[in-house]
């Protein structure tokens, strides 16, 4: 399947998106692999513009986009390899199909990650912007400003642009991956530490829970 590539779509989350478990300056390391990553929390009821420029409910719009991409990728795989069975990547905990998006209370959570290193060396880092409320412009952050974002509170808000595409991990299943592309910070809340309110109430998913790590069992499509 080396020559078969999925469609790639770009999605920009709405203003008011929060970020947690963020490793966007210093990459996180898991099993010897370094990755930039974050979880974007999009409140239910947020508004986003669709292709026609009309405001729609953001969480429904984004999930519809991701699910449509998955269905398109499945169709593409079956058309290219009609005699082959494919299985969706499954969670090692539940045995159920695992996707980089889920609903948690009143938020859509999107798990985004990008390899720090690729075949040609260090990959392009996530681009940082900050919104200037006075001018209304989004300003590119310089390197010194980037360093201040190494640790941010999960109350920090903004928008994140990401790329979504299908993958095929062979015996470990097929699915959708979401790669962070750029982020525009609006309300920057520094990480303070030391207080009970600083701790998250939900444990972050481990890498194997949304990576291509689970074993395929039966054909899903």
Q: What is the pLDDT of residue 172?
A: 82
DSSP the chain: -TT----EEEEEPPTTEEEEEEEEEEEEEETTEEEEEEEEEEETT-EEE-TTS-EEEHHHHHHHHHHHHHHHHHHHHHHH-TT----B-B-TTT-SB--SEEEETTEEEEEEEEESEETTEEPPPPEEEEEETTTTEEEE--HHHHHTTSSB-TT-EEEEEEEEEEEE-GGG-EEEEEEEEEEEEEE--B---SSGGGS-SSPPPPHHHHSS-SPP-S---
pLDDT score, position 95: 86
Domain that includes residue 182, residue range: 8-210
Within-domain flag for 216: no
What's the CATH number where 106 sits?
A: 2.40.50.140
Span 125-167, pLDDT tens digits:
999 999 998 899 999 999 999 999 998 999 999 999 999 999 9
Here the tokens at position 10 are: 């770009």
* pLDDT for res 194: 52
- For the residues 50-57, what does the mean pLDDT come to? 95
Residues of the chain with pLDDT > 70, as a percent, come to 86
Q: Regarding predicted confidence, which is higher, 70 or 2?
A: 70
Domain contains 42: yes
Q: How far apart are CA 172 and CA 179, in angstroms?
A: 19
Residue-level pLDDT at 215: 29
Give pLDDT, residue 2: 54
**Total domain count for the chain?**
1
Q: Name which residue leads in pLDDT, 193 or 4.
A: 4
Q: For residues 201 and 53, which has the higher predicted lDDT (pLDDT)?
A: 53
pLDDT of 177: 96
For residues 90-114, average pLDDT: 93
Please indicate, yes or no, if residue 131 is contained in any of the structural domains: yes
């Amino acid at each position: 399947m080396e020559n078969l590539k999925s469609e790639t779509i770009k999605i920009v989350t709405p203003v008011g998106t929060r970020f947690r478990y963020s490793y966007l300056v210093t990459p996180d390391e898991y099993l010897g692999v370094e990755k930039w990553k974050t979880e974007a929390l999009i409140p239910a009821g947020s508004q986003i513009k669709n292709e026609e420029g009309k405001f729609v409910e953001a969480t429904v719009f984004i999930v519809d986009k991701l699910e449509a991409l998955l269905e398109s990728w499945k169709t593409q795989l079956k058309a290219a390899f009609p005699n082959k069975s494919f299985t969706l990547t499954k969670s090692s905990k539940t045995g159920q199909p695992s996707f980089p998006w889920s609903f948690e209370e009143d938020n859509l959570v999107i798990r985004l990650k990008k390899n720090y290193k690729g075949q040609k060396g260090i990959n392009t880092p996530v681009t940082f912007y900050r919104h200037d409320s006075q001018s209304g412009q989004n300003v590119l952050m310089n390197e010194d400003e980037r360093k201040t974002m190494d640790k941010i509170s999960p109350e920090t808000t903004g928008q994140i642009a990401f790329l979504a595409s299908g993958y095929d991990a062979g015996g470990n299943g097929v699915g959708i991956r979401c790669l962070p592309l750029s982020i525009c910070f609006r309300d920057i809340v520094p990480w303070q530490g030391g207080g009970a309110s600083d701790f998250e109430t939900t444990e972050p998913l481990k890498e194997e829970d949304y990576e291509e790590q689970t074993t395929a069992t039966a054909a899903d499509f």
